[in-house]
Structures are given as C-alpha cells and as structure tokens.
Chain A
Amino acid sequence: MFDGLLTITVFLPAAVALLVTLFARGENADQQIRWISIGATVVTFALSVLVFVGYDQSAGGIQMIDHFERWIPIDALRSSYLLGVDGLSAPLVLLTGILGMAAALGSWRIKKRVREYFLWLLLLETAVFGVFVSLDLLLFFIFFEFELIPMFMLIAIWGSGRPRYSAMKFVLFTLAGGAFMLVAILAIYVSPDVNTLAMVSIPELGITGIPELMAGADLAAPAALIFGFFFIAFAVKLPLWPVHSWLPDAHTDAPTAVSVMLAGVLLKMAGYGLLRINLGFFQETKGFTIHDVAGAMSIVAAISVIYGGIITIRQTDMKRLIAYSSISHMGFVMLGVAAVGTSAAQTSAAGLNGAALQMFTHGTITGLAFLMVGLSYDRTHTRHIPHLGGLWKKMPLIAIFFLIAGFGSLGLPALSGFVAEIMVFLGTFSVWPWATGVAAFGVVLAAGYTLWMVQRVFFGERPATPGLSDEVYDNLTDANWVDMIPVIALAAPIFIVGIWPSVVTDMFDIGIQAVLR
C-alpha cells in the first residue's frame, strides 16, 4: 500500500532544501533561496492541510498509509518503512505545516549565510513531520534524532548570547534521552513475544503492532523499566521539571524562527510520544501499566506547572520569560496524560483529549509569542523588560498580536488556550482532584506573568534611564505586511480553535480512543 501523500509531505522540504543549496548560484542566490524555500514551506503547508482534511473521520483508524516492507529487506529485523496518520497525528501534521511556513516566512530578514540557514530549517521541518507520521519505531527514532543536527546548527551559528553553549546543552540533553529510548526500543524488540517495530496494528496490512503484542507478554526487561526509559526521553524533550534546564537556554539563544519551531512543534514530539508510546504501549503490560504511575505523573505535572509559572514571573528577558512559560504549559500536557487514572475504568478521555489539544494550541500560541518578541527585538534590539515601556504608541500592531498571544496563553475564553486547559482540568479533576487543583493555580500565574510583561513592555511609561535612547525610540516602526503574514498564519488557528474547537478535538478524540483501545 503506498498512498504517497505523506512521503511527499515529509520529504518535500528536505528535497527542495538540498536542490536549492546545490543549484542556487549567482548574485541573486540569496533572494532566490528565500523565495524557493518559503515556496516549499507554503506547498508543504497545503499538503498538510490536505492530510488533515483528507482524513476520513467516519472511517477512523490509520489512513494514507505508505508501506514499503522491503525498506530493510531482512526478515529478522521486522522494520519497514511505514507512514500513516490517525486522529492523533493528523492535527500535529497540520500544526507542523503551519509553523514550518510561519518559521520560513519569519526568517525573511536573515542575512547571515542564507543558503545554509534555509537548508537546516527545511531539514528540521522534514524531521518533525517524520516523527509525527512514522509508525515504525526505528523510523520514529531516526527522525527523532535527526532533528538534532539541524537544531544544533541553527542555534550554534545563527543564535545570539551564548549560542554554542546552548546548542551543546540542547544536544546533550536530547542525546541522553535518545540513548534511553534506543535501549527501550531494543528491549521491546528482543522480547520474543513482541519482536516487531510496528507502533500500531493495521489489520488491512496484516500488521500486528506493539500495543497488541505487548499486552500480557513476557518482556526482555521489566515493563516498568522500559516505560521509564521512554518516559525519560520524552520528559527531557517536553520538558518536565527537573530535566527542563536546557529549554530556557536553547530558546533564549535561538534565532526567532527556530524558537518558533522549537516551542511550536519540537516539544510536541515529546507529548506525541507520551500519548503514542507510553500510553499506547503500556496499558495491559504484565506486572506494570501506565495506571500504576498516573498519580506520580500528576504530581510531577503539577510541580512543573507551578514551578515553571513561579520562575516565569521572575524573568526579565522577554524570550526567556516565554520559554519558561512553556515549561508551565507543557506541564498541562503531562497533567492531561495523567488523566489515564489508576485503572482503565477511571480513565478520562476528556483529560487525554485536553492534553492533545493543549499541544496544538500551545504550538500556535507560543509560536506567535516568540514571533512577536522577535519582531519587537528586531526594532528595539533589546529584550530586557525593564528597558522597555510605552511601545504601544510606536508599534500598535505588534502590541495587539502580542496581547492576543498573551491572552491565549493565560486561557481567555474564545481563544484556543482556554478550551485546552478547561478540558485538561475537567478531565483530570475527576481522577486527580488535588494535583489538578494545585495545577489550576498555573492559570493564575500565567495571567500574572503575561499581563505584567505586556503592561511593562507595551504600556506604561518609558523608563527614564537606562532605556531606549530617544533616537531609537522615535525611529521605531510598526510591523509591515511582510512581517504580518506569518503572524496572521499563527493567530488564525488560535481564534478558529477557540471558537470552534471540535474542528480538531473530534479528530484528536478518534486518535485517543484508538490509543486507549
């Protein structure tokens, strides 16, 4: 079975990137590269919409399968080239399409080493797409790790502050997590009862997936250990307290578009992994199931939310502030996953749906916030909050959209953040009332740090000294139409999902129900 759409979606950015890098020559090369790369992300976005819309909700299951069994033609290895989407991955594919396009558009002003920059940015997009559509564990791992090389280069070469340090920290954290994941994959693979790498069952292809095979099977290592290794890999990536410390550095030092990609989709790879693997594989395993640690997960989630929120309030760098707020918001994802409860009967699908939706909304909201910080920084050349103030008069558009991102992030009704958080709270409260109650304070904190920052940066008075000099302040300009295209692209889904959430929640629900079996 080879539908082809997913393969094209995944590899189009990489293919264009390689061709452009090799063949764009001459004086106008940089301009050509910009146009062609952005064109490629727009086409990829259209393809991702096609994937999302083309998914037949009434049929459910895995669709648009690209299966090439003889990818590694060794029967014993039981790995195949298997791509497909279900309700869980289709919205994330769409999210990647949107953010990939926004990131490329937002990189319009990059002047340094344009050729390489777009090469890495497009390769990054391919890697992220690959993670969301791979249904073979080996393939999933390849894409999960492959994302490191472009990220490393993008942060190290085009970053600011201490880019090499941050890039190295990011890579080391993720590599360490990846090593745990590889061991976990091997442990599943070597278990005689399982010995496959297919992540889902696909009856029409005769594929029995790991979730089904692992139910009640004897594993080569204790199920708790395998679960833990996967969990570590994803906790680092999500990131959860206490393995979050790479994130503020990476975010702060990365160029704007890379921050957008990092917060928008890279963190979602971890949430997706938690739902697909930790939840999907470990519901009926012998001796240990995800239900045994749901309580612990809810506590870690609550700590992440509150700890992230408190640290966020103290930040004085706009970008670092948003980075820390991501830790708090990704804690909600973990909290939603904890809604799986202590038994299958207790499981709240609403909480899990909320976790999935929180990934989608956080992607667009935080992506937008980073984009706005980038636009503001391009003009003021500082992100230090006490140095700023009264920017509203000079750049109203930037301020408005910054405010939209802020409202989304604090969970204002009619914006998508509200829907996701309310689903997580309602779903998880029935299972873990205390942890949810504590985590709900995260919303109060979010309101605090978001509004306070907006107030200090855009409203209020200009600080006398040390702030922007009169010359700089007087010459500040608002965003122009080129800047606004990616902004609109990210703001639109925030409103659409806020007002009409079922456009993605129906989809997620199909995926979650399938994962819960």
Chain B
Amino acid sequence: MTAHDYWVLSPAIAMALLALVTISVDLVTRNMAKVSTVAFLGLSAPIILTLNLWFGWFGDPATAREATGVAELGSALFGSVETDRFALFFDFLLLTVTAGTILASAKYIASDRMKDYGGEFVSLVLLSVTGMMILVSATELITIYVALELTALPVVALAAIHRTKQGVEAGTKFFVLSAISSAILLYGFAYIYGYTGSTHLDVIMNRLAVLPTEAGVPFGSYAVLLSVIMIVAGFGFKMAVVPWQMWVPDVYQGAPTPVAAFLSVASKAAAFAVIMRIMYVAFGDPVLMQDWSGLFAILAAVTMTVGNTLALSQSNIKRLLGYSTIAQAGYILVGVASVPANQVGASFAGAGPQGVLYYLAGYAFTNLAVFFAVIAITSRTNDDSIEGLNGLLKRSPLLAGLLVFGLLSLLGMPPTVGFMAKVVVFGSAINANLTWLAVIGVVNTVIAAYYYLRVIRAIVFEDAADESTFSADKPLLAAAGVAAVGAGVFGLAPFLLLEFAEQALSIIPAIIPGI
C-alpha cells in the first residue's frame, strides 16, 4: 500500500482503530461509561478525516493522485476502493448514525445484563461500520463482497448478544439468511465476471458496451440478466426489500433495540449506496438502465404494498417498526427506479438518485428519533406492545412528542422531512415516466397513515393503566432530540441535504452527464 492508499482509506482505518481502542479500554477499565465516552469522542477522528477528504484541508486528494499516478480521483488499492464524494456522503451519514447509536446505548451497555459485554457491543458496532464505510467506497466486486461480510458478521453477534432464546433465534436467522444472500450475490458476481472478464465496475461497463447483445432480451444477454437479478436479490436482503424481508420483524423484535435502530438505518443506507454504485457505474448504459429501472419499479411497488399491509395488523411496536422500515425501503426504491434514462424533458438532473440520497438521510434522522424514543420508553415500561404506549403523552410528554413527531415524519406529514422526501421521490418517478409507481406510492402512504395514526392515537388519547411519569436519560434524550431536530430542519430546508447529494452524485457520469 502506498501512502496515498492510506490517505484515501483513512476514515475507515480510523474507525477500525477506534474499535480496537474501545475494546482495550473495556479490557483495562471495565467501566462502561468510559467505553461509551471513548467511543463517542473517538468518532471525531474518522469525522475529521472524512471532512478532510471532502474539503481537501490537508492537501487535496487530487494532488496526491497526481503524485501516485492512480487514475481515479481518490481511488486506492489498484482502483478497488474509491473514496469519492458519493462515498463521503454516506460516510457522513454512517458516522452520524453511529454517534447516535453509541449515545443511545450508553445506558443500555451499563445495565446489569449487558455490562460484561458492553465493550464488545460497542466495538462490534464500530467494526460493522468500518465494513460499511469500505462498502460504500468499494468499486470492485471482490472488495464489495468482503466489505459486506465484515458488515454482516458483527451484526450476527450483536443480535444474539443477550443469549436469550429470542436473541439467539434472531442471530441465527440473520446469520443463515445473510449467508444465503451472500452466496446468491457471489453467484451473481461470478456470472458478470465470467461474462465481462473483470471485477472492476467501470471496466464491466466498458466491456458491456462492446460485447454483442441479443435483441429482445433484457440487458442484452441472459447472463447479464441473471447476474443482475442475483445481485439485486443479494442486496435486497440488506435493504429489507420484499421478497427478502422475512428476517426483519423477527430480528427487530428479538435483537436489542439499539441494534435494531442501527440495522434499520446504517445497514440499509450502505446497501442502497452500493446497489446505486453498482447499477449506475457497471450497468449505467442508458439502455441497460431502462431495463433495471423496470426491475426496481416492480420491487418498489411490491415492497411498499407488502410492508404496509403487513404492518396494519401488528400489535408489537418493534415489529410494527420492522414492517414500517420495509415499506420505507419500498419508497426509497421508487427513487432508485427513477433513472435519468427515462427522463421527460431535458432539465432532469438526476432527481431520482438525488431523491434516494435525500430520502435515506431524512429517513435516518426520522427513524433514529423513533427508535431512540422507543428505547427510552420500553426500557422504563418493559412493555413493547402498542397498548404499552397508552397515555404516554401524560406520562412523559417530551418522549411522547418526539415519538409522535417521528411517526408523523415516517407517515409523510408536512412539513417534516418524510413529506418532503416523498415529494422528491414521487416527483422524480413522475419525471421518469413512472407515474403509475408514484400513484401506488401515494396510495401506500394513505394505507400507512392508518397504522402510524393508530400508534399516535394510543399515545395521545388512550388512558394509561399506570399513570406514573418518567423521563429518559440525558444522552438518549439528546440523541433522540438531535435526530428529531434534523428531521424537522431537513424538511423545511431540503436544499441543505439536496445540494450535498447533488455534489455527491456529480462524480457518477451516468447520473449527471457532462459534469
């Protein structure tokens, strides 16, 4: 590895080191407060390094590139990792989510049943994030696969960390399904490698452009078709897309809630990032784009509808949120399906992909606020049924307010980020000639209103069986509050995120030609 490679990978390396430091602190002090503090403050290292790469504070990566002669901006390890602005956007997102998760689990890892594994808990989270940070930067299939495994394995341990029956079941389920999906993914990678002779995404695109195509066959060849379907299936598991969603409710219910919060946001964001990169870089040819757009449009419609329909009858808040994240993944897929190749008019500047990034970030803030509020509440009431939330407004007004606000944003009520993100995503679908998909999306929003409002009704209107009041720990409350404020601010001022997203996407030629 050259100095430049270290430079480009510095955020991920810092993250991995932080994981090691955290576990060492745990080993030496056995003090969970210290572990949390070190992990939280230590996050400033990868954050500063990420900011550095974005702004080029300590030397522009572009100059470093000239010195090493590596062709791509910020690419490292023989072009297999590329910490470009697209990757950096997701690095920021992942780091924010990690900071929130650590803050929110500070009290949890200090609890009696966790204090023996608290250090492991935090460092496993950090290791998984390391995998995600490499995953969003990876531009080569083998690297993607390895990073994906690094992302998934710590989560298996995290899900089962309680070693209760439910926890072990959640862990096992996650492990087995994750392994199967990885195998399918690898199969897809193997096909595309066999067909094009390369594992580098940009080379694959060039080879696909010159290889002969068969008329009437999607993607011009059955090999590519099969490979795309397998790749989408493999990542579909991570994105929690129907029909690979079965694990979600079980794992969310069985795993510790901070893990579920982390999974629902970070792991999903990373999976969407890598699928976007693969699709737009390797299969970014306008003709191919139209083919996979149709595939994603169908997945989006099915995912939204199934997720929302199954959520209707849930009585456990964690399971309900599990199905809700499935439905949300469906909305995000609408943005993935809205490709530039289908544009109406000339002014389309990647609204679909921009919508995906905006939705993911907005959703991250919203969902964290909801999950953190649920953690705070269920840790006091020890009841994760929806009836357990009855009369919450009287018992803990602040937590109730945060939870209601988050649910309204998930529902897509103006002026939250949830509404604005849906407008952007559905608007981009209409622009990409997918009006039918936008209509299904709107109908789904109405269906979803039913179960979100049901929870809100319990919180605001029902009478509590137990009238005692309670509040949450300061760190958890701060994390939930910051997430909720983010969800509000990014809804009122969408440009803050969208400008950022546009810059992130500007490096992918297939999305914004000419930049």
Contact = CB atoms under 8 A, between A and B. Distances in A.
B460 A156 contact: yes
A85 B427 CA distance: 27
B344 interface: yes
B111 interface: no
A76 B442 contact: no
A145 B413 CA distance: 8
A70 B343 CA distance: 20
Interface in A78-106: 79
Interface in B85-113: none
A71 interface: yes
B336 to A, nearest CB: 16
Given A146-B414, A182-B442, A164 B498 contact: no
Contact of A74 (B397, B424, B460): B424
Contacts of A70: 495, 499
A311 interface: no
B419 interface: yes
B408 interface: yes
Interface string B321-359: 000000000000000000000011101110100110000
A141 B414 contact: yes
Contacts of A75: 347-349, 351
B435 interface: yes
Tell which of B354, B414, B420 has the most Cβ of chain A within 10 Å.
Answer: B414
Given A76-B351, A142-B415, A146-B415, A179 B499 contact: no
B413 A73 contact: no
A76 B435 CA distance: 14
Given A142-B419, A145-B414, A192-B344, A73 B431 contact: no
B408 A72 contact: no
A190 B435 contact: yes
Contacts of B435: 190, 220
Contacts of A72: 420, 423-424, 494-495, 498
B495 A189 contact: no
A476 interface: no
A53 interface: no
Interface string A61-77: 00000001011111111
B428 interface: yes
B495 A77 contact: no
A36 B495 CA distance: 31
A73 B499 contact: yes
A138 interface: yes
Interface in A138-153: 138, 141-143, 145-146, 149
Nearest to A197: B427
A195 B347 CA distance: 12
A183 B499 CA distance: 28
B325 to A, nearest CB: 24
Contacts of A145: 413-414
A186 interface: yes
B502 interface: yes
Contact of B431 (A76, A138, A141): A76
B499 A77 contact: no
B427 A73 contact: no
A74 B419 contact: no
Interface in A242-276: none
B499 A76 contact: no
Nearest to B430: A190
Interface string B415-434: 10001100110111011000
A369 B462 CA distance: 34
A142 B446 CA distance: 16
Contacts of B347: 75-76
Given A142-B419, A190-B430, A73 B495 contact: yes
B461 interface: yes
A73 B351 contact: no
A143 B502 CA distance: 27
B430 A189 contact: yes
B360 to A, nearest CB: 15
Interface in A17-65: none
Contacts of A116: 397
A164 to B, nearest CB: 6
A220 B347 CA distance: 20
A401 to B, nearest CB: 36
Contact of B498 (A74, A190, A192): A74
A220 B344 CA distance: 14
The bracket for how many chain B residues form the interface is: 35 or more
B118 to A, nearest CB: 32
Nearest to B502: A73
Contact of A138 (B397, B408, B423, B499): B423
Contacts of B345: 76, 192, 195
Nearest to B350: A74
B349 A74 contact: yes
A116 B424 CA distance: 32
A77 B495 CA distance: 13
Contact of A189 (B351, B355, B397, B427): B427
B232 interface: no
Nearest to B428: A76
Nearest to B355: A74
B241 interface: no
A142 B426 CA distance: 16
B408 A156 contact: no
A149 B349 contact: no
Contact of A149 (B413, B424, B449): B413
A142 B419 CA distance: 9
B81 interface: no
Contacts of B415: 142-143, 146
B438 interface: yes
Interface in B431-481: 431, 435, 438, 442, 446, 449, 460-461
Contacts of A68: 495
Nearest to B493: A71
A77 B424 contact: yes
B239 to A, nearest CB: 23
B167 to A, nearest CB: 38
B455 to A, nearest CB: 15
Interface string A269-286: 000000000000000000
A71 B495 contact: yes
B119 to A, nearest CB: 35
Contacts of B423: 72, 77, 79, 138
Interface in A166-212: 175, 179, 182-183, 186, 189-190, 192, 195
A427 to B, nearest CB: 35
Given A70-B495, A182-B442, A76 B427 contact: yes
B351 A74 contact: yes
Which of B415, B426, B449 has its CB near the most chain A CB atoms (within 10 A)?
Answer: B415
Contacts of A74: 349, 351, 354-355, 424, 427-428, 498
Nearest to B340: A76
Contacts of B428: 74, 76-77
Contacts of B348: 75-76
Contacts of B494: 71-73
B351 A77 contact: yes
Task: Please give me the 5 A-B residue pairs with the lowest Cβ-Cβ distance, nearest first.
Answer: A142-B414, A76-B351, A75-B347, A145-B414, A76-B431
Interface of A: 68, 70-77, 79, 116, 138, 141-143, 145-146, 149, 156, 164, 175, 179, 182-183, 186, 189-190, 192, 195, 220
16 contacts: A70-B495, A71-B494, A73-B495, A74-B349, A76-B343, A76-B345, A76-B351, A76-B431, A79-B423, A138-B423, A145-B413, A145-B414, A183-B442, A186-B430, A186-B438, A186-B442
Interface of B: 343-345, 347-349, 351, 354-355, 397, 408, 413-415, 419-420, 423-424, 426-428, 430-431, 435, 438, 442, 446, 449, 460-461, 493-495, 498-499, 502
Given A71-B495, A149-B408, A190-B435, 10 more contacts: A71-B494, A72-B424, A73-B502, A74-B354, A76-B347, A77-B428, A146-B414, A156-B460, A182-B442, A186-B430
